[in-house]
């Protein structure tokens, strides 16, 4: 059985919401999961509580960061493959950019930025 994406949520909504999670989700996986639950289940009603809990259980069985996988799953359920790609990038890139920027600023002798 293959799950179909839910009603087509605009990609602009996925970019905005998953980008916001990527920017403000400091605290690691517990924070990310709580923010995803709040957005996808409680506020927007995009996913049921049961489906969200099943997704958490599944991502905890997979190797790698469970909260990132959960963010990608939620975006996939809303917009299919394109949603998963866009949601994943918007969730991951803000933190990556901040890490690289702090690395460039913190140790100018070992890494030249520019």
Domain boundaries, the chain: 11-104
Burial classification of residue 99, based on how many CB atoms lie within 10 Å of its CB (0-12 exposed, 13-18 middle, 19 or more buried): exposed
List per-block mean pLDDT (blocks of 10 residues) for the chain, which spans 114 residues. 65 96 87 95 96 96 93 96 96 90 72 57
- Cα gap 45→111, rounded to integer Å: 45
pLDDT for 88 equals 97
């Amino acid at each position: 059985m293959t799950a179909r994406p839910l009603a087509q949520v605009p990609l602009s909504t996925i970019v905005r919401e998953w980008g916001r999670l990527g920017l403000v989700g400091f605290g690691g996986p517990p924070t990310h999961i709580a923010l995803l639950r709040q957005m996808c289940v409680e506020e927007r009603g995009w996913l049921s509580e049961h489906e969200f809990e099943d997704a958490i259980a599944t991502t905890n069985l997979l190797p790698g960061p469970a909260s990132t996988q959960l963010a990608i799953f939620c975006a996939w359920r809303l917009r299919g493959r394109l949603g998963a790609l866009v949601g994943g990038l918007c969730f991951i890139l803000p933190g990556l950019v901040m890490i690289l920027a702090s690395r460039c600023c913190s140790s100018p002798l070992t890494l030249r930025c520019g």
